[in-house]
A = this chain, B = another copy of it.
Amino acid sequence: MRIGVLGTGMVGKAIAGKLVALGHEVKMGSRSADNEQAREWAAAAGSSASQGTFADAASFGELIFNCTSGAGSLDALGSTSPADLAGKVLVDVAVPLDFSQGMPPSLFVASTDSLGEQIQRAFPDARVVKTLNTMNCRVMVEPGRVPGGHQVFVAGNDDGARQEVAQLLQSFGWPADRIIDLGDITAARATEMYLPLWLRLMGALQTAEFNIQVVR
């Protein structure tokens, strides 16, 4: 399918690259149409890869990935045409990190709200699904890098959208029984608030290539 990936950082490149490898047509979107990262990526990724503005990528995609920085997500999405988000699945991978208070970063929204909810409220006609935001981008697209039965979470208001995203996650290599459906988009609070523990664990383990497995 045609997929728009907003964001040219490590996460955007990892997701966009995986989607191209899986046979999708992918347009990477950035603030300006001449973003060097995006141009280099598109040139290297082959004929099914292209790049443009955030608006171009949203218009292009039948499904949209938000891989922008959390602090820039609402602006990035706001620069697209609302009609280009309406009815589409919007996969939100962004994390609401706030680096203004020093290291380790804090969250600019937490507890009674979340970035996922902010995005769903700002773009009510998009079908927002929060997922993949609990791990490093290499693990997102290649879960076998980490051993064991570790899991990925999905949250969103639209049942069909969560199912569609679960299918896409399976194509990334996530077995169906390792995709935990947490329900509506308010569960984005839970997965976003896990991020500080993820950051501490990265420090304690001295690697970003890990994930959590819920055992019972």
A interface, CB within 8 angstroms of B: 98, 101, 106-107, 110-112, 146-148, 150, 153, 180-183, 187, 189-191, 193-197, 199-201, 203-205, 207, 209-216
User: How close is A190's CB to chain B, nearest CB, in angstroms?
Assistant: 4
Q: Which residues of B contact A195 (CB under 8 A)?
A: 193
- In the complex, how many angstroms separate the beta carbon of A102 from the nearest chain B beta carbon? 9
Asked if B201 and A205 make an inter-chain contact with CB atoms under 8 angstroms apart, the answer reads no
Q: Is the CB of B101 within 8 A of A107?
A: no
| Pairwise interchain contact A212-B212, C-beta atoms closer than 8 A | yes
Q: Among the listed B98, B112, B190, B213, which residue makes an inter-chain contact with A212, where contact means beta carbons less than 8 Å apart?
A: B213
Whether the Cβ atoms of A216 and B210 lie closer than 8 Å is: yes
- Contact with A196, one of B180, B190, B209 (Cβ below 8 angstroms): B190
Q: Report the bound CA distance from A84 to B76 in whole Å.
A: 55
Q: Which B-chain residue is minimally distant from A96 (CB atoms)?
A: B111
- Residue pair A203, B215 in contact (C-beta under 8 Å): no
Q: Is the CB of B187 within 8 A of A200?
A: yes
B209 and A182 contacting across the interface, CB-CB below 8 Å: no
B146 in contact with A215 (CB, 8 Å): yes
Cα-based distance from A172 to B136 in the complex (angstroms) = 33
Q: Is the CB of B191 within 8 A of A197?
A: yes
Selected from B106, B190, B211, the residue in CB contact (under 8 A) with A111 is B106
Beyond A194-B193, A196-B189, A196-B190, whether A214 also contacts B203 by CB under 8 A is no
A109 → chain B, closest Cβ, in Å? 9
**Could you say which residues of chain B place their CB within 8 Å of the CB of A215?**
146-148, 150, 210-213
> In the complex, which of the residues B110, B203, B210 contacts A193, with contact meaning CB atoms closer than 8 Å?
B110
A181 CA / B204 CA spacing, docked (Å) = 7
Known: A180-B204, A210-B214. 14 other contacts (CB 8 A): A106-B111, A111-B196, A147-B215, A147-B216, A148-B215, A190-B196, A193-B196, A194-B197, A205-B214, A207-B216, A210-B215, A211-B215, A211-B216, A213-B213
